């Protein structure tokens, strides 16, 4: 069935380092793709999304590009901050399925 | 800003007891979901609900689980006879329409089954 695969965590970076968190999807067709972030003790919040191939979602310095040819939606940020420490979830939604599929989450820890 | 609210924030129960988790989705949203997350792990889909009926459910959502929208504002998840492995964080989410993209999540209800 459809699934979303994320890189294993935890990812530990120093402040101002470059971040990449890989995500690939297997849904056929053109699912909508999302990155959600979960800060400690909180629910999930939408970080960014892309709804069609070659779209780039961006928010708070994070970016991800919907790549149909590689079925990927990797999350990047040029310079991470301590406040970016959280768990990041990649997710897909395929119209007509009535559900969003989440990846396993990648924990990011940014050290000062 | 509109938000999804969940109660209780934490519930401790004995194995075999019934539990009801409550959610108030965003008022003009049409699609409602329950997810669960066991100890900070994967966010697992349980069930989706639209037009007063279940749209889709996962293998996890067996006969012990049920959902209801009793009064047009609340959306409840009932676990009939809890098991130890039901201990998890349960998240309610809502969405304005199937293709609008964003799921709005509540802050979760932590269920601990002893």
DSSP string for residues in chain A: ---EEE--S-EEEETT--EEE-EEE--SS--EEEEEEE-TTS-EEEEEEE-STT-EEEETTEEEE-BTTTTB--EEESS--GGG-EEEEEEEE-TTS--EEE---EEEEEE-
How many Å lie between the alpha carbon of B48 and the closest alpha carbon of chain A?
A: 6
Pairing mode of beta strands B88-95, B109-113: antiparallel
Q: Is B99 exposed, middle or buried (0-12, 13-18, 19+ CB in 10 A)?
A: exposed
Which chain B residue has its CA at the smallest distance from A100's CA?
B45
pLDDT less than 50: residues of chain A? none
B43 touches chain A (CB under 8 A): yes
Compute the distance between CA of residue B59 and CA of residue B47 in angstroms, rounded to an integer. Answer: 10
DSSP H helical ranges for B1-114: none
Partner residue opposite B48 with nearest CB, options A49, A95, A98:
A98
Average confidence (pLDDT) over B22-50: 90
Which residues in B lie closer than 8 A to residue A43 (C-beta atoms)? Answer: 4, 91, 105-108
B99 touches chain A (CB under 8 A): yes
- Test B40 with A87 for CB contact under 8 angstroms: yes
Partner residue opposite B99 with nearest CB, options A34, A95, A103:
A95
**DSSP code of residue B106:** -
Which chain B residue has its CA at the smallest distance from A104's CA?
B42
Query: What burial letters (b/e) apply to A50-63, b meaning 16+ CB within 10 Å?
Result: bbeeeeebeeeebb
- Test B41 with A87 for CB contact under 8 angstroms: no
Compute the distance between CA of residue B74 and CA of residue B24 in angstroms, rounded to an integer. Answer: 5
Question: Does pLDDT of B45 surpass 90?
Answer: yes
pLDDT at A29: 78
Pairing mode of beta strands A11-14, A106-111: parallel
C-alpha neighbours within 13 Å on the C-beta side of residue B82: 20
Question: Does pLDDT of B100 surpass 60?
Answer: no
pLDDT at A8: 82
pLDDT at A2: 65
Question: Does pLDDT of B26 surpass 80?
Answer: yes
Compute the distance between CA of residue A28 and CA of residue A26 in angstroms, rounded to an integer. Answer: 6
- Test A101 with B42 for CB contact under 8 angstroms: no
């Amino acid at each position: 069935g459809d699934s979303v695969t994320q890189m294993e965590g935890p990812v530990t970076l120093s402040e101002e380092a470059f971040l990449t968190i890989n995500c690939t999807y297997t849904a056929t067709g053109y699912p909508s793709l999302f990155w959600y972030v979960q800060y400690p003790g909180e629910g999930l919040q939408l970080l960014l999304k892309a709804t069609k191939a070659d779209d780039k979602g961006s928010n708070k310095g994070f970016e991800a590009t919907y790549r149909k040819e590689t079925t990927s939606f990797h999350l990047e940020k040029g310079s991470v901050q301590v406040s970016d420490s959280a768990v990041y979830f990649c997710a897909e939604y395929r119209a007509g399925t009535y559900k969003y599929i989440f990846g396993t989450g990648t924990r990011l820890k940014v050290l000062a | 800003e509109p938000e999804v609210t969940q109660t209780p924030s934490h519930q401790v129960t004995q194995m075999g007891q019934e539990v009801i988790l409550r959610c108030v989705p965003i008022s003009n949203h049409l699609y409602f979901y329950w997810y669960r997350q066991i100890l900070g792990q994967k966010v697992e889909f349980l069930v989706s609900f639209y037009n007063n009926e279940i749209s889709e459910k996962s293998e996890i959502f067996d006969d012990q689980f049920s959902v209801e929208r009793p009064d047009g504002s609340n959306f409840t998840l009932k676990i009939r006879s809890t098991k130890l492995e039901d201990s998890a964080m349960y998240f309610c989410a809502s969405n304005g329409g199937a293709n609008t993209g964003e799921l709005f999540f509540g802050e979760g209800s932590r269920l601990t089954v002893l």
